[in-house]
Amino acid sequence: MKKVRKALIVFFVLYLLTGLTISSCFAGYNNISMTLSLDRKEATAMDSMGMVVKISGVRSNDSWPVVKGLESFDVVQIGSSSRIEVINTTFSSAIEYNYMIQPKEEGTYKIGPAQLTIDGKTITSNTENLTIIKPSRSSDVDRGEIFLSTSLSSNKIYIEEQAVYTLKLYNQGGVKLVSLSLPETEHLILKQIEKPSEYQSVYNGKTYQVLEVRYVLIPSKEGTYGIKPARMSLNVMQPRHGSGFGMFDDPFFLSSGSISKNVASEPLELKVLPLPAKGRPSEFTGMIGTFNMKASLEPAKIKKGESATLAVVVEGHGNVKRIPDLKGPVQQDIKIYADQPVFEESVDSGGIKGLKTMKWALVPEKEGQYEISPLKVSFFDTQKQQYRTIETSPFYISVLPGAKEVLSPSSVAPEAKQTNNVVKKEIKEIGYDILPVHDSIKDLSNGSSLQNRNLMALLLLITPFLIYLLTFLGLKYGIKSDKAMAAVRIKKAAGIIIQQCRKGKICSGDMISELRNYLNNRFGLDLGSLTAYEADNILKSKGVSSETAYKFKDIILELEGAVYTGKGNEICSLAEKIIEIIKKVEKELR
Amino acid sequence: MRTFGYVTIIAFISLFMLIAAGLAQTSGYEETFYKANTAYRQDRFQEAADSYAQLITAGYKNGNMYYNLGNAYFRLDKPGYAILNYERARILIPRDADLNFNLKYARDRIQDAIEEPQGFLETAFFWVGSFNFKELLYCFAALNLFFWGILFVRLFKKTEWTYYASMILFILWMITGASSGLKWDILSTDDRAVILEKETNILSGPDAKDTVLFKLHEGTVVHHERSEEGWSLISLPDKKRGWIKDGALENVIENK
C-alpha cells in the first residue's frame, strides 16, 4: 500500500513538472517574431552575400518565407535549421532560413521585409539596406590563388573622423589562418567592427572564397599617413597525388598536405585634414561625425509640486566620447534636478556608435504655462563637411494648481498662494531692526537679584518636611493623648481577649476578669466587678442585639457557676464560645 | 493711659511719614523710567541708557530693565553692551519674545562665529532654559508642599488614592527639584563674559608683550576663567584660551 502511495506521488510530481514544461513551451510560442539579417551592408556586384531569416517562437514550419526586394539578386536557398533554447528557465525555439544572394547590378537596395503566414497570421520582418558598388580596378591583375587586399572608405578624412579600413583575404579554399599583423601607425587607431564575414566573389574572372574583416580607423592628429601593408600567415592545404596505381587514382584516396604561406596587402595613403575654422560655433565641443538629437517631456500637463521628466538623447557615429553633458534648461519658477547622464558605446557597420541619455526632473513651483527653451549641441558633420548645430524643439508644460496646499513653516517661500478663493501672500522680510523697549509701568517692578535665594521659597521647602518629620516621630515614639490611648484600647480590646482564649490556658475565674476587662476597654468603663446582668445591660445600651447580649450573659453565668461550684481554677472550656460571641459583638458594634 | 495714647499717635505719624517717603521715592523712579522711555523714543539713546542703568543700580534689576538698557546700547551702536544686557535679561525673562528676537538679531551682527555646545544635562532638561530660577524654585516649593502634605495624610490614612497621588507627586517633585538644582548650578557656575571692544587681541600671557594668539570682536561671548593683575584668562568653546585686558570684557553675572 505504501509503495502504491509513493508511486502515485512520483507520478503526480512528474505530471506537474511535465505540465509546467509544456505550458512554458507554449507560452514561448505565443511571441512569434521574424528578423532578417545580411552578413554585409556593402559589396561589389561580383560578391555573394549571406542572408538569414530567423523566425523565433516556432518549432517547425513547412513553407519558406517570402522576401521582398530581391528582384535584382540571384537567390539560392542554402537550407534551414531549427533549435530550442532554454534561457532563464524559459523555453524558446527558432527556425533559421539561410540564403546566398548575388547582386545583378550596382545600386542601393532595400532588402525585405520577409513575410510568412503561420496559422492564418502573417508575420513581417525588418528590412536591411545593401549598397552594391563597382569592383575595384585592381581586378585587372591576376594575383594568384591567395592574396590579401585592403581598402579605406575614404582617403581624405578630418581629424577624429572615422574611416572604414577593410581587409579581405581572397583564397580558393583549403586555407587556415595562423596570424594577422595589422599595420601600426602613430596617431592612427584601428578597432574591429563586426565579426569577420565569409562569402564568394569573382576577381579577375576567377571565383574566390573571401574572408572580410572591417575596422574603424580614427586619426588623432592631422597630416599625411602612409599605412603599411597588413600581413597574414596562412597554412594552405595542397593535394598530394599518389603513385598513380589502380584504385589509388580514385580521388577518394587522394591524400593532402599543408604549406605555410605569407601574404601582404598593398600599402595605403591617408590624408587627415584639420577641422575648418570657418563657421565653427561657439558651443562646439569637438564632436565629429553624424549625430542626431531626440528629446521628450513627459507628462506635458502636471500639477504644481509634481515633476515632469525632460529626456534628451544625443546619438550618432563619430568621436562619441565627446558628446557633452548638456546643461539643463533654465526656467523661472521651475526647479530643475539633473540625473546622472547615461552613455552607451557600441560598434556597427557604420563604425563606433554612441548614445548619451540626459534626464532632468522639472518641478514647477507655480501654476501656469511654461515654455522650456530648446537644448543645443554643435558638431562637425562629416557627411555634409560642415559644422551643424542641432537642437531640441521647444517644449510646453502646463502646470495646474496643486491638489492640496500643505502649509509648513519650512516650505514658506515668498510667493502668492490661492486658498479658498482668497489670494494670500507669503510674508516677505523687507527690513531688519530690533523690537522696542518695554515701557509699561508694570515693567518697573522690583526684580529679584540674579542669584535669587528667596526666603519664602526656602521656608516652603523646609517647613512641610519638618512638619511631616515631627508628626512621624511623634506617632512613632510617643506622645499620645488620652483620647488616642482610649482609641487604641478600643481597637485592641477584642484582640486581647481572643488571644487569651486561643492560648487555652486560662481558668474560668480569670476568664470572668478578662471579659470585664474587655467591656472596660471596649466601652471605656471602669468596672471593678462584672455580673451577668450588668454585662447584658451594657451591651444592649451600646447597640448590641438582645440575642447576642443574652448569649454573652449566659456565658458569664456559666463561668460564675463554675467558680461557685469549685471549678474556678480549672481550665475554661468555653473559650471557643467566647471567641465567637466577642466576634459577634464586634460585628454588631461596627 | 494718656501716655499710651500719645505714643500711639506718634507711632502712626512716623509710619505714615515712612510710607510717604517710600512712595515719594517710588514715584521718583517712575519718573526716571518715564524719562528714559521718552528719551529712547526721541532717539536720545545715551540719556535713555543712563536712566535705565540708574534704575538698575537703584534695585530695579528686572529683565525688562536689562532688556531696555540693551536696546539703548544697541541704538548707540554698542553691540557688546547690548548683548551683555540682553544676556542678563535672559536670565530673568528667558521666554520674552522681544528679548529673544533682539538678542538673535544682535548676535547675527557680531563678527566672530562661535557656537556654544549644549551639555548633556542641558539637553536632557531642555525646559530649564525656558524658566528663570525663581519660577523653578517656586514650582519646586509648591510641589514640595503637596508631596509632604500627601505623605502627612498617609500617616493617618493609608488609602489607595493617597498611594498613587504620593507616587505621582514624588516623580514631579524629583523632576522640579533636579531642574531647580540644575538651574542653580548653571547660574552659580555661569562664567560667561562679553567682549566690549571693537577688536581686541588675545595674548598668550598676562602681559602686553606676550604673543597675540587670536583676535576677538565686540559682542562675542567667552568664558571668563580668572583674573590676574588687570588681565583675565578667557576660553572659547573650541578650547582656544588666552589673556585679555580686564576692561575689554564684562561678566554676564554681575559682581562675580
Provide mean pLDDT across the span A479-508.
79
| CATH T-level topology, domain A29-133 | Immunoglobulin-like (2.60.40)
* Interval A391-441: pLDDT, tens: 888 888 888 876 544 444 434 444 444 445 555 666 666 667 788 888 887
Q: How far is B249 from chain A (nearest CA, A)?
A: 19
pLDDT confidence of residue A405: 43
- Evaluate if residue A16 carries a pLDDT over 70: no
Per-residue confidence at A481, pLDDT binned at 50, 70, 90?
low
By CA distance, what is B60's nearest residue in A? A446
Euclidean distance between CA atoms A152 and A141, whole angstroms: 20
Q: What is the CB-side half-sphere exposure of residue A277 using CA atoms within 13 A?
A: 0
Between A and B, how many CB-CB pairs are < 8 A?
A: 108
pLDDT confidence of residue A447: 58
Nearest to B134 among A446, A448, A472 (CB): A448
pLDDT confidence of residue A91: 66
More confident residue, A521 or A4: A521
Q: Does B77 touch chain A (CB under 8 A)?
A: no
Residue A151 is which amino acid?
Answer: S
pLDDT confidence of residue A412: 41
Euclidean distance between CA atoms B183 and B128, whole angstroms: 7
Nearest to B53 by CA among B250, B212, B207, B205: B250
Using CA atoms of A97, A102, A106, A109 in order, give the dihedral in degrees to the nearest 10. -10
For A20, the 3-state DSSP assignment is helix
CATH of B2-109, one of 1.25.40.10, 3.30.390.10, 3.30.1490.20, 3.40.50.1100: 1.25.40.10
A window 427-446, beta carbon within 8 A of B = 432-439, 441, 443-446
Chain B residues near residue A432 by CB distance under 8 angstroms:
105
Per-residue confidence at B163, pLDDT binned at 50, 70, 90?
very high
Percentage of residues of chain A with pLDDT beyond 90: 2
Q: Say if residue B83 is exposed, middle or buried (CB neighbours under 10 Å; 0-12, 13-18, 19+).
A: buried
Identify the sign of the CA torsion A426, A428, A432, A436. Answer: negative
Give the domain ranges of chain B.
Answer: 2-109, 121-188, 192-251
Per-residue confidence at B44, pLDDT binned at 50, 70, 90?
very high
More confident residue, A405 or A66: A66
Q: How far is A487 from chain B (nearest CA, A)?
A: 13
Per-residue confidence at A18, pLDDT binned at 50, 70, 90?
very low
Provide mean pLDDT across the span B236-248.
90
Identify the sign of the CA torsion A574, A576, A579, A580. Answer: negative
Percentage of residues of chain A with pLDDT beyond 70: 81
CATH 2.30.30.40 matches B192-251: yes
The full DSSP string for A97-135 is: EEEEEEESS-EEEEE--EEEEETTEEEE---EEEEEEPP
Strand-by-strand arrangement of the A49-56 sheet: A33-38, A49-56, A90-103, A73-87
Chain B residues near residue A448 by CB distance under 8 angstroms:
61-62, 92, 134
Q: How many residues does chain B have?
A: 256
Nearest to A445 among B62, B144, B254 (CB): B62
Per-residue confidence at B170, pLDDT binned at 50, 70, 90?
very high
Q: How far is A516 from chain B (nearest CA, A)?
A: 30
Chain B residues near residue A465 by CB distance under 8 angstroms:
144, 148
- Evaluate if residue A249 carries a pLDDT over 60: no
B window 219-248, beta carbon within 8 A of A = none
Residue showing cell 584601428 = A190
Percentage of residues of chain B with pLDDT beyond 70: 89
pLDDT confidence of residue A69: 87
Q: Do domains A29-133 and A137-273 have the same CATH topology?
A: yes
Euclidean distance between CA atoms B82 and B94, whole angstroms: 16
Average pLDDT score, chain A: 78
User: Which helix (H) or strand (E) segment is A509 a member of?
Assistant: helix A508-523
Q: Does B15 touch chain A (CB under 8 A)?
A: no
Q: Angle of helix A482-503 relative to helix A508-523, nearest 10 degrees?
A: 150
* Interval B122-145: pLDDT, tens: 888 889 989 998 899 889 999 999
Provide mean pLDDT across the span B61-72.
93
- Is residue B45 within 8 Å of B75, Cβ to Cβ? yes
pLDDT confidence of residue B235: 92
- Evaluate if residue B255 carries a pLDDT over 70: yes
Q: Does A447 touch chain B (CB under 8 A)?
A: yes
* Interval A193-240: pLDDT, tens: 878 888 888 887 788 888 888 888 888 888 888 888 888 888 877 665
Chain A residues near residue B102 by CB distance under 8 angstroms:
434-435
Euclidean distance between CA atoms A394 and A331, whole angstroms: 12
* Interval A22-35: pLDDT, tens: 444 444 445 788 88
- Is residue A241 within 8 Å of A222, Cβ to Cβ? no
Mutate to test the interface with B, among A450, A470, A477, A480 (most CBs of B within 10 A): A450
* β-sheet bridge partners, residue B214: B202
Find the range with the poorest average confidence among A87-101, A238-252, A329-343, A531-545: A238-252
pLDDT confidence of residue A427: 64
| CATH T-level topology, domain A288-400 | Immunoglobulin-like (2.60.40)
Q: Does A454 touch chain B (CB under 8 A)?
A: yes
Euclidean distance between CA atoms A134 and A222, whole angstroms: 30
Chain B residues near residue A461 by CB distance under 8 angstroms:
140-141, 144
Nearest to A314 by CA among A250, A366, A256, A379: A379
Nearest to B67 among A438, A461, A468 (CB): A438
Find the range with the poorest average confidence among A213-222, A257-266, B10-19, B135-144: B10-19
Percentage of residues of chain B with pLDDT beyond 90: 54
Q: How far is A430 from chain B (nearest CA, A)?
A: 15
Chain A residues near residue B147 by CB distance under 8 angstroms:
464
* Interval A458-477: pLDDT, tens: 777 888 999 999 988 888 77
Question: CATH for A137-273?
Answer: 2.60.40
pLDDT confidence of residue A250: 44
Instruction: Give this complex's ipTM.
Output: 0.72
Chain A residues near residue B30 by CB distance under 8 angstroms:
441, 444
Provide mean pLDDT across the span A249-261.
57
pLDDT confidence of residue A267: 85
Find the range with the poorest average confidence among A514-528, A535-549, B57-71, B238-252: A514-528
Find the range with the poorest average confidence among A62-66, A458-462, B24-28: B24-28
For A128, the 3-state DSSP assignment is strand
* Interval B82-129: pLDDT, tens: 999 999 999 999 999 999 999 999 988 888 877 777 788 888 888 998
Nearest to B141 among A460, A467, A471 (CB): A460
Q: How far is B250 from chain A (nearest CA, A)?
A: 15
